[in-house]
Amino acid sequence: MSASTPAADAAASAGEQPAQDVPLLPSRNTGLLMGAVMAVSVMQFLDLTIANVALPNMRAALGATPESISWVVTSYIIAGVLVLPLTGWLSDRIGSRNLFIGASLMFVLSSMLCGAATSLTEMVLFRALQGIASAFIGPMSQTAMFDLNAPSRQARAMSIWGLVVMIGPISGPFIGGFLTDNLNWRWVFFVNVPIGIPALAILWWRMPSRMITRRQLDIFGAAMLALGLVGLQLLLDRGNQNDWFDSTESVVEILVAICAFWIFAVHTRDVAHPLFQGAMVRNRNFIGGLAFMVILGVANVALSSVLPTMYQSVYGYSVMTTGMLMAPRGIGVMVTMAITNRIMRQADVRYLITAGYLLAAGSMWLMTTWSLDMDSHLIVVSAFIQGLGLGFIFVPVNMIAFSTLAPNFRTDGTTLMTLARNLGGSFGISAIVTTLSRNLQISHADIAANVTSYSVPAVDPSLVAGQLGPYGDAAMAMLNGEVTRQAAFIAYLDNFFMLFWVLLSIAPLAFFLKRPRPIGSPMPPGE
């Protein structure tokens, strides 16, 4: 097993950055290792959305109900949230190499088990195992990209890794739909095997490791944080289905989350060995980066989850066409991430973050001008502009968050970054789905109330339907379907308008953060 250099280990244990422009974990195979890390990341980020489109096929094959099949997604999310806060402690305890390789192996094996599942119980169990492995892969892959690269090359590494983070959720529904339609729903899981095995071989061969330290675990604090996160995630995932706080379950979940978070905060303030060090959570840039990452989760993960449904249900596009319409977002991300590293060397990254959110807000404003009878060119333009904005946000946010954070805090920092991005996606999906369902009902009632003999000259729809018998019922069903389609479209526009104001309001807040040190410069003493 390769190891880090003594100088780098000493610097890391002291909480300082090496004075030279050298990586924390030097390797003669940096490019190959980065490729393996990226391959593992591809599997993990694709699985955030790839299985969602296959749920109807899974339900039929596993004999599940529409309500119970949702646990295929919920078990994955909850299991990941439960163990995610332990990533930093486990990395120190067993070594970053062992944790990353073990999590990657577990992800590949659990993917194979998911693809072979014959019952809903098996699927939920195997998805939970996959979620646990995924929780460790996210922060460990980001930490590896930082550690394998010198400070002057970390922005470039984040640009490369960020492509997977941003494009994975976008392409997941398209790839999942393609595999389900042309092969079988089981291939949304089996596809991880040919990607994961070569990556595991490379990681086992050359992956270096951080120094192992016998760090104490704050068991009570970890339990309270996990309990709060599980309660919050269950609320966000099942709240709309349970009609939110009209349901006893949702009330219990929010109370459990609030109480657990409060106990965790009070306990962490006084405990000798907290789960997350105070020096990290008091870092203004890092906390600001977490806030920006939450909003980025809303703009990227949440929209990536709901837009394919809109394209198919409202506009009637096929799965393949829907995937093509999602592609311009990824192209826009690739364009700006390719140039972000160079711009960051010349300009204040806070301007990039602000420009990114303004571009994303502008794309949402453009989306509020959509109409039911337009062609796809406006969808393509809006998606490309949005991708440009998102690409300007991800790398600068990570660089500004970690610029004043000591290397020994990186694993805990990337853990919290992953948690913030995941919670942002969950908040966004929950908010969008809830406002969609409520605004759809309101708009449907408003439109239907105006479909009368007064609004349709010389025709009374209900009278004609009664005279035509079964054909009249079919005609009324078609009319109701069109009313529902138009109501859904209005509800989507309302969401675009809401997201426009959210992104616009967050744009200038970047200037409340400290300007980070230049890329490649050593960290000043005491930071």
- Count of Cβ atoms closer than 10 Å to residue 331 Cβ: 15
Q: Do domains 1-217 and 278-527 have the same CATH topology?
A: yes
C-alpha closest to that of 173 among 347, 355, 329: 329
What are the structural domain ranges in the chain?
Answer: 1-217, 219-274, 278-527
Who contacts 380 (Cβ-Cβ below 8 Å, separation ≥6)? 325, 328
Who contacts 353 (Cβ-Cβ below 8 Å, separation ≥6)? 292, 392, 393, 396, 397, 400, 507, 510
> Domain 1-217 class?
mainly alpha
Who contacts 150 (Cβ-Cβ below 8 Å, separation ≥6)? 21, 22, 23, 520
Residue 8 is predicted with a pLDDT of: 43
- What is the SS3 assignment for 475? helix
Residue 475 is predicted with a pLDDT of: 60
- Count of Cβ atoms closer than 10 Å to residue 480 Cβ: 13
pTM of the model as a whole: 0.76
- Name the fold adopted by 278-527: Growth Hormone; Chain: A; (1.20.1250)
Q: What is the CA radius of gyration of the chain?
A: 24
What is the DSSP code (8-state) at residue 3?
A: B
- Please say whether the beta carbons of 276 and 416 come within 8 A: yes
The percent of residues above 70 in pLDDT, for the chain, comes to 87
Which residue positions in the chain have pLDDT lower than 70?
Answer: 1-20, 66, 450-480, 516-527
- Please say whether the beta carbons of 269 and 221 come within 8 A: no
Q: Where are the alpha helices (DSSP H) in 271-376?
A: 278-281, 284-297, 303-313, 319-346, 349-367
Residue 384 is predicted with a pLDDT of: 92
Tens digit of each residue's pLDDT (9 = 90 or more) over 296-313: 888 777 777 778 778 878
The span from the CA of 169 to the CA of 442, in Å, is 30
Residue 470 is predicted with a pLDDT of: 59
Residue 517 is predicted with a pLDDT of: 59
- Please say whether the beta carbons of 250 and 279 come within 8 A: no
The span from the CA of 76 to the CA of 70, in Å, is 10
Residue 436's identity, in one-letter code, is: L
Residue 395 is predicted with a pLDDT of: 80
The span from the CA of 195 to the CA of 366, in Å, is 38
- Please say whether the beta carbons of 260 and 231 come within 8 A: yes
In sequence order, the β-bridge partners of residue 456 are: none
Residue 362 is predicted with a pLDDT of: 92
Token duo for residue 452: 């009368």
Tens digit of each residue's pLDDT (9 = 90 or more) over 435-450: 888 888 887 777 777 6
